[in-house]
Homo-oligomer: A and B are copies of this chain.
Amino acid sequence: MHIGLVGLGKMGGNMRTRMRDGGVTVVGFDRNPDVSDVGSLEELVEALPSPKVVWVMVPAGDPTRETVRQLGELLGEGDLVVDGGNSKYTDDQLNAELLGAKGIGFVDCGVSGGVWGLQNGYALMCGGSDEDVAKVQPAFDALKPDEGGFVHAGKKPGAGHFAKMVHNGIEYAMMQSYAEGWELLEKVDLVDNVTEVFDSWRSGTVIRSWLLDLLVAAVEEDPHLDKIAGYAEDSGEGRWTVEAAIENAVPMHVIAASLFARFTSRQDDSPAMKAIAAMRNQFGGHAVHTEPPVGGDANPG
């Protein structure tokens, strides 16, 4: 198979390598000429045999939308675009429509794997018609792990990114699950070696997982995580998962709480807690801390 790949950053660059190792002929384009195979998007398109397949691997939002728009002008009937970035599923529906008007096919593909994907393979969740997915299958086969790790999630555009989005929502809450347990074990005086406890859980327990392996790797380097700030970004996908839950009236207590915990982690001070403190101060004079003697003060609030 012959494929064009737009975007050769950390993800795209490794994916090019894995596709080539898997026998796919890849022509890559990136704005950074040091890593690019060709000088322009036009050259990339010209270099491909028809029907042309172009995999877009650039940041979600405007960059992806703009790249898809340009490809809509460069490609023609029977060609195909794959969006492998972290796009929102509603973007896919718009992109599929835009390209479909010109007879260009569209497949959306959520990609998981991070820096481990090159070696272990990428998990792929794609959406699109059977016919369009079939055209990309050799690339999917090269990218995915040896066993499993690929799913054609649905025939409508967005099905793949929706599945990947939910994956990320679950990921947030799983991480928060371990994190809360770790904090409690760190806090109590009873358990002497929290790192060993977490390490032991990697075998034989109900909660063994790859995320647990990662957490153990981290605490083995820095047992109390002294060098790491409790600050966590969130990608769009956690937010979209909760929004999709709200739209579909699905209760989502733990994924939402995990998302909110990340928001809190990025605040210097919490406006909400200022309001709490202000109310407490109004009704009970709680701002003044006094240590009452025996026979002294009781419940001011």
Q: Does A106 contact B (CB under 8 A)?
A: no
Q: What would 9 A/B residue contacts be, using CB atoms closer than 8 Å?
A: A32-B295, A58-B297, A114-B285, A152-B193, A187-B249, A218-B279, A230-B273, A232-B280, A256-B256
Closest to A62 in B: B294
Please state the number of chain copies in the assembly. Answer: 4
Q: How far is B148's CA from A200's CA once the two chains are assembled, in angstroms?
A: 6
Q: Does A262 contact B (CB under 8 A)?
A: yes
Verify A187–B250 contact, CB threshold 8 A: yes
How near does chain B come to A128, taking the closest CB pair, in angstroms? 11
Residues from chain B with a CB closer than 8 A to the CB of A144 are 203-204
Verify A153–B191 contact, CB threshold 8 A: yes
Residues from chain B with a CB closer than 8 A to the CB of A147 are 203
How near does chain B come to A156, taking the closest CB pair, in angstroms? 6
Q: How far is B201's CA from A122's CA once the two chains are assembled, in angstroms?
A: 10
Please count how many residues in chain A sit with their CB below 8 Å of the partner chain's CB atoms: 167
Binary flags per residue of A67-83, CB closer than 8 Å to B gives 1, else 0: 10000000000000000
Verify A300–B264 contact, CB threshold 8 A: no
Verify B230–A239 contact, CB threshold 8 A: no
Residues from chain B with a CB closer than 8 A to the CB of A276 are 175-176, 179, 230, 232, 261-262, 265
Residues from chain B with a CB closer than 8 A to the CB of A177 are 170, 173-174, 177, 254-255
CB contact under 8 A between A187 and B274, given known A31-B293, A261-B253, A292-B9? no
**The residue from B170, B201, B273 contacting A181, defined by CB atoms under 8 A apart:** B170
Verify B300–A11 contact, CB threshold 8 A: yes
Q: How far is B191's CA from A156's CA once the two chains are assembled, in angstroms?
A: 8
Verify B6–A207 contact, CB threshold 8 A: no
Q: How far is B252's CA from A267's CA once the two chains are assembled, in angstroms?
A: 13
Q: Does A23 contact B (CB under 8 A)?
A: no
Q: How far is B299's CA from A123's CA once the two chains are assembled, in angstroms?
A: 13
